[in-house]
Amino acid sequence: METTETMESILSLANVSWRHQVRDFSTWKPWAKRDGAGIHSINLKINSGTIIGLVGPNGAGKTTLMRAICGLYECDGFNKSAETRRACIGYMPEQVRWEGRITVSQAITSISLMRNSTTDVENLIRTVGLSSKSNQLLDNLSQGMRQRLSLACALIGSPKMIVMDEPLNGLDPLAQRAFSNLLKNLAKKGVAIVISSHQVGDLESLVDEVALLHRGQLLINGTLEEIRKSLNLDDDSGIVEMICSATGIEPHDISLDLSDDGMLPFRPLGGEEE
């Protein structure tokens, strides 16, 4: 991997905030909305050739941050406009259920038209291992194949940065390995990758840096070593220990109870709710 000094900054975030608008139904104002969960004052620098893992408990704001990075929400604080970001970022959302009576290659062509790209569709299909399914209807694809199709869409137009939300879900172990290799190769070519995954074992071996989110805030980010040092953790401690240490949750006390505000889906048993 290149050193941080020599790497080109692809995107920087300074105090990026976004709140979802949720319905606040009342008899007299059934259309009323109020601020809901979101992300708050996120500062992050994304360099070329770096794989950043976004980690955090459910509801921490990982998907919201990814959508903001990809220009899906209008928020300030980026050094590039939403249009510019959309042009240079390939986005792979979580668990897209492709369906319809069009073929895989037609679906990719449709997205490449929206990128105004002249990508070699067949080559892209080969890259993600869908050659045998090129002319298959979307309705007939398995979820793993749909994941590959989403990946193909993220790769259209050779983006400088790829953002992936839970990309390993639905992939068989061999495909997961191939997927990791592909990401490493892309990073070697200078593509910046932001990835979120709850399969932290795979993530630890893949990422160069980790950004830990909790309740919409970026608690800590850096290489695994840097974070271990900051949190005074052992050398063999992993991402789960980092999350627990940074959020104050004890690993043996984790429950699935939801908090009332929906922003902290689990809380320490017997402890005070944050």
Partner 1 sequence: MNTLSLGMHIMKERLTAGRMMVIWPLLAMFILFSSWGLSDPKVNLPASIVIDSAYDVMFVATAFIIFSATLGAVLIAFDGISRDRLSGVLEIKLSQPIARSKFARALLLGHWGAIFIPVMVLNIASILVIWYRLDDLPSTEEVFIHTLGTGLLLLWYTSIQLIASSWAKDLGASIAVGLGVWMVFTLLWLVLTTVVAGLSGVGVDDLNSAEYIQIDAIMDLFSPNGVYHHLLEIPLDDVDRGMSPLYVCIAAILWSIVPVYLFTRRIERLHP
Q: How far apart are CA 43 and CA 221, in angstroms?
A: 10
The footprint of partner 1 on this chain (CB under 8 A) covers a number of residues equal to 31
Q: How far is CA 74 from CA 22, 69, 82, 217, in A?
A: 16, 10, 7, 18
Which is closer to partner 1, CB of 86 or CB of 198?
A: 86
Considering the complex, what minimum distance in angstroms separates the CB of residue 69 from partner 1?
Answer: 10
Q: Is 13 in the site for partner 1 (CB under 8 A)?
A: no
Q: Is 91 in the site for partner 1 (CB under 8 A)?
A: yes
Output the 3-class SS for 7-45.
Answer: CCEEEEEEEEEEEEEEECCCCCCCCCEEEEEEEEEEEEE
Please report where in the chains the tokens 């840097």 appear, as a residue.
226
Instruction: Pick from 56, 59, 61, 93 the residue near partner 1 by CB under 8 A.
Output: 93
Residue closest to 247 by CA, chosen among 58, 46, 67, 69: 58
Considering the complex, what minimum distance in angstroms separates the CB of residue 184 from partner 1?
Answer: 23
Please report where in the chains the tokens 């992939």 appear, as a residue.
171
Instruction: Pick from 27, 28, 76, 97 the residue near partner 1 by CB under 8 A.
Output: 97
One symbol per residue from 36 to 75: x for binding partner 1 (CB under 8 A), - otherwise; what is it?
A: -------------------------------x--xxxx--
* Contacting range for partner 1; rule: CB under 8 A; set: 3-11, 100-108, 205-213, 244-252: 100-108
Q: Is 83 in the site for partner 1 (CB under 8 A)?
A: yes
* Contacting range for partner 1; rule: CB under 8 A; set: 4-12, 85-93, 206-214, 220-228: 85-93
**3-state secondary structure (DSSP) of residue 201:** helix
One symbol per residue from 127 to 156: x for binding partner 1 (CB under 8 A), - otherwise; what is it?
A: -----------------------x--x---
* Contacting range for partner 1; rule: CB under 8 A; set: 53-61, 88-96, 120-128, 258-266: 88-96
Q: Is 116 in the site for partner 1 (CB under 8 A)?
A: yes
Q: How far apart are CA 66 and CA 92, in angstroms?
A: 10
56's torsion region: left (phi>0), alpha (psi -120 to 50) or beta?
left
Q: How far apart are CA 191 and CA 128, in angstroms?
A: 17
Q: Is 76 in the site for partner 1 (CB under 8 A)?
A: no
Strands 33-47 and 51-55: unpaired
**3-state secondary structure (DSSP) of residue 135:** coil
**3-state secondary structure (DSSP) of residue 55:** strand
Considering the complex, what minimum distance in angstroms separates the CB of residue 119 from partner 1?
Answer: 13
Considering the complex, what minimum distance in angstroms separates the CB of residue 197 from partner 1?
Answer: 17
**3-state secondary structure (DSSP) of residue 112:** helix
Q: Which residues bind partner 1 (CB under 8 A)?
A: 67, 70-73, 83, 86-87, 89, 91-102, 106, 109-111, 113-116, 150, 153
